[in-house]
Amino acid sequence: MSALKLFVHNHNGNDQSLMKTVTFALTHFTVAFTVAYLLTGDILIGSLIAMVEPAINTVAYFFHEKFWARRQQRRQPAVLLASTGR
């Protein structure tokens, strides 16, 4: 089974994260298109920006999350040492 099918299949009815992600993506694309269209007055330019900007932003966010996860992992031992009094 593909990773996407497994991801969707393994989420029970109480987990709304997938739906939240989809609605956030739609909102992001809509806002990006609206702003680009209002600034340029061109539907094609607005559409291109609405596709490119969120895609680049998603990649940037991935690396941002990796940075923060590494930062938290480095701080974890220090927090444990402080709580044990060492």
Report the percentage of the chain scoring pLDDT > 90.
24
Give the integer Cα–Cα distance in Å for 84 and 33.
53
pLDDT at 78 over 90: no
Check: pTM over 0.85? Answer yes or no: no
Residues 40-71: tens digit of each pLDDT: 999 999 999 999 988 888 788 888 888 988 88
Give the integer Cα–Cα distance in Å for 53 and 41.
17
DSSP string, 25-80: HHHHHHHHHHHHHHHH--HHHHHHHHHHHHHHHHHHHHHHHHHHHHHHHHHHHHHH
Domain limits, the chain: 17-84
